[in-house]
Amino acid sequence: MIYFDHAASTPLDEKALEAMMPYLKEDFGNPSSVHGPGREARNAIERAREKIADTLNADPREIIFTSGGTESVNAVHKGVTWAFHGKARHIIISSVEHHCVLECSEWLTNQGIAVSEIPVNSEGWIDPKEVQKAIRQGETGLISIMAANNEVGTMQPFQEIGQMARQQGILFHTDAVQGYGKIPIDVQRDHIDFLSVSGHKIYGPKGTGFIYQRRGLEMVPLVHGGGQERDRRGGTENVAGIVGLGEAARKICGETAERARLRALTDLLLGDLRKRFPDLKVNGPEKADQRVPGLLNISLPGIEGESLVHSLDAKGFAVSSGAACAAGSAPPSHVLIAMGRSAKEAKQGLRFSFGHSNNEGQVKQLAETLPSVIESLQMMSSFLEDDEKPVKK
């Protein structure tokens, strides 16, 4: 199987696994215990916290460990909203946010919080001017805009939006699950108050993630317990997972050359496919430097993305038709709908996302296989259409 679905999940990095092993075996102490094994576990967590803080130009005390991106987003949106004490009853998001943001916002709406969704252009880009227009003076308490889109890769102007929010005294959160490690993020320079990251998207272990929370800001805990994470997230810490997350974060944020290599792979695939399929459409920005490295979403008119996913899987290629959490569901992509595609067009999206294990040979192999797969699907579609025609008597 050739794996082209790194936006859904990445394999665990060998160095991360190596760092985790002692804490899965002999160093099993509870980090809240004061004896030797407990102190060693606590020190391992704090070393990981420092590694992650260094990647963001943050203070280690501003990092909160969680179970992943979804928990991180929920903790920020709900925790910050609860901390308003009714003083700010309005938040701003975009129409292309991840499902966890959209569904969390829907839940908050049922709790009496007003939510404004900012539209995007045909490439999935958010205009900061539209964010500015949506601000309600004295009411807007939080703006939450993703750093990069998980389906089409569009990099958002989160730095400009963060600056705008800071100038107006509004808190700013960015879902950086798809952007962290792929694009430069500096929480000081970019005026970020809260940030969410998932471990398994950056070659770390599943079930890990973190929140950046700027010092001095209030956030009511989503999970109460024994005072862990400085009373910000209760429950015994996942020591091994946190250690692996710290090592994965340190490594991926230093891979400048790898980002350029991944971008070149998407350019190679797109160029080859365009020669074979002149009617191919790119979903997202045409310019590769406006998408996160290694992600390409295309549509081939007349062919459903999910059908291509199954057919390519049978040929030994793992790809996606959109967000992993929505795979296999009937509704068309909400991201492509927001970008102005029809419901039919929104079901034609096919996402390729490259990672460490991919190379030019694999990309060429994919490009050579796709025409026969499409031909088979077209023949099948034609056969089914003929079969559905009424029989003449």
Sequence ranges of the domains in the chain = 2-6+256-388, 14-252
| pLDDT at residue 221 greater than cutoff 90 | yes
Determine the average pLDDT of the residues in 199-210. Answer: 98
Lowest mean pLDDT among 21-25, 191-195, 318-322: 318-322
| CATH (one of 3.90.1150.10, 3.50.50.60, 3.20.20.70, 3.90.1200.10) for 2-6+256-388 | 3.90.1150.10
Q: DSSP code of 31?
A: T
Q: In angstroms, what CA-CA distances link 209 with 51, 223, 389?
A: 14, 15, 53
| pLDDT at residue 322 greater than cutoff 80 | no
Any residues with CB less than 8 A from the CB of 349 and at least 6 apart, and which?
151, 152, 283, 297, 298, 299, 305, 321, 322, 333, 336
| 194 neighbors 212 (Cβ within 8 angstroms) | yes
What b/e readout covers 364-387, taking b as 16+ CB neighbours within 10 angstroms? eebbebbeebbeebeeeeeeeeee
Q: 2-6+256-388 and 14-252: same fold?
A: no
> Which fold, 14-252?
Aspartate Aminotransferase; domain 2 (3.40.640)
Determine the average pLDDT of the residues in 187-216. Answer: 98
Q: DSSP code of 188?
A: T
Mean residue pLDDT across the chain: 94
Lowest mean pLDDT among 32-36, 304-308, 323-327: 323-327
253 is catalytic: no
> Alpha-carbon distance 101 to 86, whole Å?
21
| 206 neighbors 178 (Cβ within 8 angstroms) | no
> Alpha-carbon distance 238 to 64, whole Å?
12
> Alpha-carbon distance 390 to 393, whole Å?
9
> Alpha-carbon distance 79 to 222, whole Å?
6
Q: Which is catalytic among the residues 100, 104, 253, 325?
A: 325
Locate 378 and state its tokens. Answer: 């077209």
Say what the pTM is.
0.94
